[in-house]
Amino acid sequence: MPGSATTERTVPPAAAPKLNAVVDEHLRWLAQWHRAAFFAAEAGVKGPDGLPMPTGFLDWVQTVKAGDLTHQPAVDRLVTLHEQMHRMARLLLMRSVEGEPPNLAAYEAVIAKFDEFMAQLRRFERAFSVAGSGIDPLTGLRNRTGLEEELAREMNRFRRTGRPFCVALCDLDRFKTVNDTYGHEAGDRVLVATAGVINRAIRSFDEAFRLGGEEILILLKDTVLDEVRRVLERLRTDIAGNPVQLADGRVIKVTASFGVAEARLDLAADALMEAADQALYAAKREGRNRVVAAA
pLDDT digits (tens, 9 = 90+) for 77-134: 889 899 999 999 999 988 888 888 888 999 999 999 999 999 888 877 776 766 666 7
Residue range 143-178, pLDDT digits in tens = 888 888 899 999 999 999 999 999 999 999 999 999
Query: Which of 83, 98, 125, 214 is labelled catalytic?
Result: 214
Model confidence at 10: pLDDT above 50: no
Higher pLDDT, 76 or 37: 37
Model confidence at 9: pLDDT above 60: no
Please give the single-letter amino acid code of residue 199. Answer: N
Residue range 14-55, pLDDT digits in tens = 556 678 889 999 999 999 999 888 887 777 777 777 788 888
Mean pLDDT of the chain: 87
User: Does residue 185 have an active-site annotation?
Assistant: no
Q: Could you give the percent of the chain with pLDDT greater than 70?
A: 89
Residue count of the chain, please give it. 295
For the chain, how long is the longest CA-to-CA vector? Answer: 82
**Neighbour order of strands in the sheet with 291-293:** 207-212, 215-221, 165-172, 256-262, 291-293
Model confidence at 62, pLDDT cuts 50, 70, 90, reads: confident
pTM, rounded to two decimals: 0.61
Average pLDDT rounded to a whole number, residues 231-249: 94
